[in-house]
Structure 1
């Protein structure tokens, strides 16, 4: 492996950690970067290699959020456990099923998300006065964890943003609390994917450890900035990341 390629990947991983700590979507940077840099490796191996950097950066962000943000522990536990097993299933299928059928669906959904977030100025700016019955809360946690957890294990990029959107839309969280809860759920999905990919030899250890250190550094600064600046900054980053996802998916579908 060429040193310049590793250095470039570390720079991408640093940026990914910074953005992911604020609003998710770090995989939009890391995943294309490693696929482009090492096209000679199987896709499953490259996806597996990105999971440890994602886990390290997400751990840092989750820890920093936990110092400032109050968690809904019951909901978080149900969602994270469901997401763990769903991600394990998704990771086990990645070598057998093509992910191209997901991209048109994701493109349509993301365009809708971007338009809705832009037009609804108060979306995610403050927690809504909404108290869901306990049964519904658990049900939504299972749905969120199952659907998004499977997606993260199977493909991954944009998972943090999807989790944030789900917590805001379905639970009435603001952007800051949604981002904090999304980090913990994302830890569960990353851990499941790491267990599967590592047990099947789909991780490049030298690459992943260097990327992990870079992602950790980026996440530290990103989370601190999000906590200091609050919902307005997170909302702006959310829109930027969603728009970047739309452009990337559209480019892959049209090329």
Structure 2
């Protein structure tokens, strides 16, 4: 499809802001997906194109964290493999399974994540022993959340982050760094299936990818320099916004009838 230079410039700007937010707290899709739909991109292609551009943003943030020694890919290799496999299975399963039950549960999960970060004390790495082994974490959390991202997606970053904090006892900064690595892994796995199906609109996706890449670099830098001061309120805000958006989409008619 052909879009004007002005529309592409707006999409680039939206992706830049989304990449910045996504690197810190997740939820960048709240901005990019509606922007793609508003530009007239059909829903299925919008999802695929959004996955294309978000893969560049999550790669950008991951690269920053790895390059600065905040996270080691060698230490995360099992979680990366499990996440990739889980996401690939989820991307295939979504084509054959009704997602309505899952979509109704996710807003409640996101509200729970917001509440957790609102009430939980600040954590420091290794202040307590992790609640499960690295292998068990990789298989259950990596594979499970990876499956969810390939199958549906909203809130994946927030879910990964709360698992790294609550189960693996990482600080919020370390948890965010590891989250972006696994987020990139699940994005790539799902994107491969979308590319095979010929769904992404490359012109739009690559323009937004550049914006997302730049924004994610700045967002990752803020994570390192500002730490929990910025991440915690952003995770709470983005989780609540995603929950409200999903609840509105699911119960719009009922809510309108009340008011």
Taking structure 1 as the reference length, the TM-score comes to 0.90
After superposition, give the CA deviation of every residue in 1:147-202 in whole Å (9 maximum; x if it has no partner).
Answer: 11111112222211111111111100111000111111112111111211111111
The CA deviation at 1:75 is 5.2
Determine if the alignment matches structure 1 residue 23 to structure 2 residue 25. yes
Q: Secondary structure at the match of 1:181?
A: helix
Is 2:83–2:143's contact at 8 Å kept on the other side of the alignment? Answer: yes
How many equivalent residue pairs? 250
RMSD of equivalent CA atoms: 2.0
Task: State the partner residue of 1:170.
Answer: 167
Q: 2:204 aligns with which of 207, 213, 216?
A: 207
Aligned to 1:235: 232
Gaps of at least 5 residues in structure 1 are: none
Shift of 1:54: 1.1
Distance 2:38 2:86 in 1: 27
CA positional deviation for 1:94: 3.0
Once the two structures are TM-superposed, the CA of residue 31 in structure 1 deviates from its matched residue by: 2.4
Mean Cα deviation higher: 23-32 or 220-229:
23-32
Matched, 1:101 2:101: yes
Task: Compute the displacement of 1:112 (Å).
Answer: 1.7
Alignment of 1:176-215 (within 5 A): 176-215=173-212
Q: For residue 176 of structure 2, give the secondary structure of its aligned residue in structure 1.
A: helix
CA distance in 1 between partners of 2:40 and 2:147 (Å): 25
Counterparts of 2:102 and 2:197, CA distance in 1: 24
Give the corresponding residue for 2:129: 131
Gaps of 5+ in 2: 253-259
Aligned positions of 1:50-65 closer than 5 A: 50-65=50-65
